[in-house]
Chains A and B, each alone.
Chain A
Amino acid sequence: MKKLFVFLLIFIAAGAKAQLSGGFESNSSYYVDDSKIKLEQIEAQNRLRSNSYLRLDYKYKHFTTGIQLESYVPKALLNYSPNLKEAGLGSYYVNYKNDSIGLDITAGHFYEQFGSGLVLRTWEDRQLGIANSIAGGRVKYAPFKSVQITALYGKQRNGLGFDFTAGSVFGLNTEFELSTLFKARKISYGLGLSYVNRNEKTDFNALPPSTFLTSIRGNVKKGGFTADAEYAFKSKDALVEFGNVRPELQFDGSAYLLNIGYSRKGLGINTSFRRLENFAAYSQRNLSGNVFNEGFVNYIPSLTKQYDYSLGNIYVYPAQSNLSFEPDRNKAGEIGGQLDVIYQFKKNTPLGGKYGTNVSINFAQWHGLKGIYDAAQRKYEADLLGFSEKYYRELSLEVRKKWNPKLASVFTYLNQYYNTRFVEEAVGEVNANTVIVENTLKVGKANSIRWELQHQWADGGFKNWAASQLEFNLKSNWSFFAIDLYNYGNDNANKKIHYYNIGLAYKQGAARVQANYGRQRGGLICVGGVCRFVPESAGLNLGVNLVF
């Protein structure tokens, strides 16, 4: 804190030409019990809950300093980590950046990603309760335009700004834009190398404190073709079972990633292949597999399409990177891939019509790793290219069509297979078909109506759902909406619930206020393949945000 004051005082002394910017966000809920949905007794003591964030950045010449204040008073919203409590400094930093000498130095909290994030990513996602910035020091140096070197060291945030996980993290990353270096024309290629070391001392003599992750990756691009490949390795670390570190059982891990794409005007194709084996990394061992997403060092997104529609998010596949032993349910990772094709039918053709038609197709399929598993002995040997149980499969088709200057539609069809037994480590499996139609009608010059109709047929899990959303937008400032998700097919009569919501939002420039009343479906809220579990709830929600 004292250091922060000193920096601030320097800036005050420096005076003019400085600039302040910031943002404020607050989300509050008042939870109620209604005929179908009730808060759990232990949660019912705090019906009013609020998460608020105030970020302030102050820039003067090459220096920027900033803080983020966070408040979880009287209590954080339902099912955020218990480490997010009370109010105080969430993060703070001082940065010096001078592009003319290629230098960027940060002391305090920082966010960083090496390559695709397979070996290191720190980021903030308030909806998921993720804020795993590293507090310490980071230096980025670009000796030439085509080379970038990053070195960092620190402790990872877990809770507020002075709460850290037990381990420390050291990272070194280099990116080489080789084609720039060799002055290549019409082709571009590059290389990246990363090293990350997590150091956490334990009382176990058999367990070395350090575990490292390395990554080597390359990319090439010529004309419409792109390709990139990455191999990453994790050194031996103890198996963690239900939060218990097992120093006598140590396993290493690996990741292979390959992407190939082709695109030209009107056509885009991308394919991805990935194999993960025991590749989760945490800055504190016993956080392995924790439900609040705390202590992540690396980022392992599920490589499937991400949906904005509510019924597209009932069965969401999270990447399976952990190692776990259980008779008939051994898991060491995942293997699979996805394919995307996007095509535009031209204007004034039979399928294109007057305005053109856009079609997107996605296919994704993921399996467990085939191999020999011995759950009793905690031993396994996985094949490099072997597919065992199917964890997830999806096929989706999206068609966008503009009918006339006023009316546009989006049709989505989604076919899913979801292996609940392996993905959630529960029972059963689900085959689901979902159809979604969205229409937007422009009324007058600045008003519009948006209407969504969704239906899901499923043979397991929650069974059938129907959903609809109606939205009126007035003069681009006001929005009024009503949503209903109805789980009419649920086998349990008490769970045939209408999850309705009505609300309004007002926005003006950089300010936005939203209020809604209704029910929240329980389940996973997922952003970018990382999910947070929320229990179902009912109540009034108020959100405010402002940027300045």
Chain B
Amino acid sequence: MRNVWIIAGREFRHYFISPMAYVLAFLLYLILGGLFAINIYVGMQSGQISPDGRLVLGPMVTILIFTTPIVTMRLLAEEQSSGTIELLLTAPVRDGELVVGKWLGALGFMVALTAVTWVYPLILHRMTDPGIDQGTLVAAYLGLVLMVSAILAIGTLVSTFFRSSLAAAGVTLAVILLLWIIGGFASGVGGANEVTRYLSFVSHYYDNFYRGVIDLKDVVYYLSLTVLSLFLASQVLESRRWR
């Protein structure tokens, strides 16, 4: 377990020295800040500010679905292209520890990134009376973290297949989008059933967490996706040795 923390710590710190992470943070805060300001402005003009704490959350979820693959793309792809994977795979570290450490570091960064956006609902809370519904907000943020953790795990898995970070990001995004549209697509061709609805990546979030409902079914969905992806990632790494 100590190895996991060491690797996660290095990964986490890496984000704070990488320009990519700052670009991502800058764009995210710029867009969300802009949206928030416009909403407040419009609200003040009409004399009615909507006390919905999820004001920035909706757009943020969309942005994160498209940008999280950038966060994970280099996790293992870069190690493989630069040869440092040889260093890690010959250190006394198990493949699983390496994978989980990498994912955890990325999760830490994403949690830090999204935690900052909590400031908008806090402002809103002070501007409105009787304030916003904190319970809904907590559920929505919890769901967001679970969903992001699943995206990160899928990204980590995809990253083990590639030497090119860009390819890893592209494929991760494709997988997420596929999971996203699978529900709608299946109902479009008349094949919608329990399974395709359950697989649908985003509906677990919007149908429940976003509305303030924490359903075990949705928690299990994201957690199992995370665990399965990380498990597969360590298997892929293991199989690399045998090739």
Q: Do A and B assemble together?
A: no
